[in-house]
Amino acid sequence: MADWATKDEALIERIDGLLAAAPVRRKNMFGSSAWFLEANDMMFAGAWGEAIMVRVGAERTSALIEAGDAESFDPMGGKPMREYVLLNADRIAEDDVLLVWLEESSQFAAGLPPKKKKPRKR
């Protein structure tokens, strides 16, 4: 099991501010916060300590990791999430750069089919 990142309230507030006008909602996830599109309920980004994980698709994930521009997002240790990359605090220090990543990841997630609702247990 991987070590869980410590929740970074300042980063969460920063992301909330950048996404204030976007049709998204924040949920608790991985002991921190993640953002989901309202249109299809797909997660596209999440705070992970001082870093952020973004959903960009398996091909883009591989390319970013191979180029050294991002790390694999592996919250469980040994089971990387293949459509997500982890961007450390240095890579998202500027709001305009962080916003580009949030836009790319939300656009990718917008192209996914709506999440199927789980049947309610009675």
CB count in 10 Å sphere of residue 28: 9
Average pLDDT, the chain: 91
Work out the percent of the chain whose per-residue pLDDT is above 70. 94
Kindly state the average pLDDT of the residues 61-67: 96
d(CA 18, CA 38): 16
Of 5-14, 43-52, 58-67, 102-111, the range with the lowest mean pLDDT is 5-14
Instruction: Give residue 89's pLDDT.
Output: 95
Q: Three-state SS for 42? A: coil
Instruction: Give residue 1's pLDDT.
Output: 36
φ and ψ at 25, to 5 degrees? -140, 150
d(CA 103, CA 97): 10
**Structural domains for the chain:** 9-110 (3.30.1460.30)
3-53: per-residue pLDDT in tens?
567 889 999 999 999 999 999 999 998 788 999 999 999 999 999 999 999
pLDDT category at 122 given cuts 50, 70, 90 is low
Does residue 75 carry a pLDDT above 50?
Answer: yes
Across the strands, what pairs with 33?
A: 28
| Degrees to nearest 5, angle at CA 12 with 10 and 15 | 110
Which is more confidently placed, 98 or 77?
98
